[in-house]
Amino acid sequence: MPIATPQQYRDMLNAAQKGNYALPAINVSSMVTANAALKGFADAKSDGIIQVSTGGGKFASGINVGSMALGAISIAEHIHRMAEHYDVLIALHTDHCQPNVVDSFMIPLIEESEKRVAEGKLPLFNSHMLDASGLPLKDNLDLSVPLYERLAKIGMMLEIEAGVVGGEEDGAAGSEDTPAEKLYTTPEDMVEVFRRMKDVDGTYMFAATFGNVHGAYKPGAVKLKPQILKDGQDAIKKEFGPDAHFHLVFHGGSGSEKHEIKETLNYGVIKMNVDTDTQYAFTRPVVDHMMKNYDGVLKIDGEVGNKKNYDPRAYLKAAETGMAARVIEACNDLESSGKSLTAGAVTA
């Protein structure tokens, strides 16, 4: 079916919040990885989010063009066409747009969506992420609120972040030496975020940090404090009433224990980004193919090799299958499998 409408996207998030599950948000950087994400969601019978980072967009536009926005537009247009052949709801999102590239990345994408909506079409993307977490909170929100207001006018959502996700991935904020206190969003900060964002007539997502770190880590290496999310939700309810809540986003989930992921679902996490693990799941079958078919993929000692082995389709099909399987695993971990709203959307 087509990409989710603005209302269907809200339904997806509300259903996840009500049902204590989350939607995997899978980063893609090519047609092949986008196809893998679609296959994984469909096979798991899960609705999902497919997202493009600034680096992913730049890669998708090719070495000679190198345009973050043009590459993201190209991937989004491909997914719009392909999603019509699947029976789950898919939302399109951009990941970790930092303040210095808002004008070159996010704004062109917003303009493209505004143009489409004016023509009676769906927005190109369903939502965008502004990662201004490196700024003081006031400056972060001063930048976030006007963007949120602009997006809300065409039914789109904004994701923002306060607190820094450690590590580094695709230009995302944070570093190996990020001070420990910056990895945890305070209840006071969460109250201020809610206060500033609540008057806009729209829906937004909030990436509060609770020790999460980008990158690849062995299980148990990342020290999460999910209680921070509960404390923040409790704080905004106390300040703004029992109906106040955040749609929370979990960044940097690689290396997290399954029980910690489950705990975050109880505190309002409705989206978890998955990138590092799906990158490996895509690459591992390629390595396997090359090792098993070494003589076929190379023209050794004057031989001609084996075209069936070095045809990129041979190993990219395996890569697509491997990545799709990891998407299914993410759906199972986040308990979204079998819960697609395609049988009839719900509202909350």
Which residue's structure tokens are 């043009």?
70
Give pLDDT, residue 281: 98
Q: What is the pLDDT of residues 54-108, one digit of tens each?
A: 999 999 999 999 999 999 999 999 999 999 999 999 999 999 999 999 999 999 9
The Cα–Cα gap between 152 and 147 comes to 9
Q: What is the DSSP letter of 184?
A: B
For 244, residues 6+ apart whose C-beta sits below 8 A from its C-beta are 194, 198, 236, 237
Using pLDDT thresholds of 50, 70 and 90, give the confidence band for residue 221: low
Please choose, from the candidates 206, 320, 207, 188, the residue with its C-alpha nearest in 3D space to the C-alpha of residue 253.
Answer: 207
37-67 pLDDT, tens digit per residue, is: 999 999 999 999 999 999 999 999 999 999 9
pTM of the predicted structure, to 2 decimals: 0.93
Sign of CA dihedral 15, 18, 20, 22: positive
- Domain parsing of the chain, residue ranges: 6-343
Query: What does the pLDDT look like over 129-163, one tens digit per residue?
Result: 999 999 999 999 999 999 999 999 999 999 999 97
Q: Above 90 in pLDDT, residue 329?
A: yes
Q: What is the DSSP string of 2-62?
A: PSPPHHHHHHHHHHHHHHT--EEEEE--SHHHHHHHHHHHHHHT--EEEEEEHHHHHHHT-
* Catalytic machinery residues: 95
Q: Could you tell me the two tokens for 105?
A: 């990345």
Q: Is the pLDDT of residue 208 over 80?
A: yes
- The class of domain 6-343 in CATH terms is alpha beta
C-alpha 298/C-alpha 142 separation (Å) is 55
